[in-house]
Amino acid sequence: MALLDDVKEALRENTIENEVQDLIDAAKADLALSGVHENKITDIDPLIKRAIILYCKAHFGYDDPKIQERFEDAYYSLKNHLALSIEYTTGDTS
């Protein structure tokens, strides 16, 4: 299953694909800005995938701000762990 499909399923929405893809792209850009190496931001890495899904849930527009805040806090926590991990901040040396 492609990342776009996974995120749409996580959002429990059959929404416009462009909107979801924009959120995915923004999440990847935010991870890169935080120091996660571009080579590590892949659709198949489980931690990166979880971070992207949390980002999308945090920015999707829930009616209850507490739900949105919970997803945002979880995203920032995971993003910080990734940004502090040498495994995610250095590129492939092969």
Which H, E and C letters describe the chain, residue by residue? CCHHHHHHHHHCCCCCHHHHHHHHHHHHHHHHHCCCCHHHCCCCCHHHHHHHHHHHHHCCCCCCHHHHHHHHHHHHHHHHHHHHCHHHHCCCCC
Instruction: Write the pLDDT tens digit of every residue in 34-47.
Output: 999 999 999 999 99
pTM: 0.80
Instruction: Write the pLDDT tens digit of every residue in 9-19.
Output: 777 666 676 78
> What pLDDT does 32 receive?
97
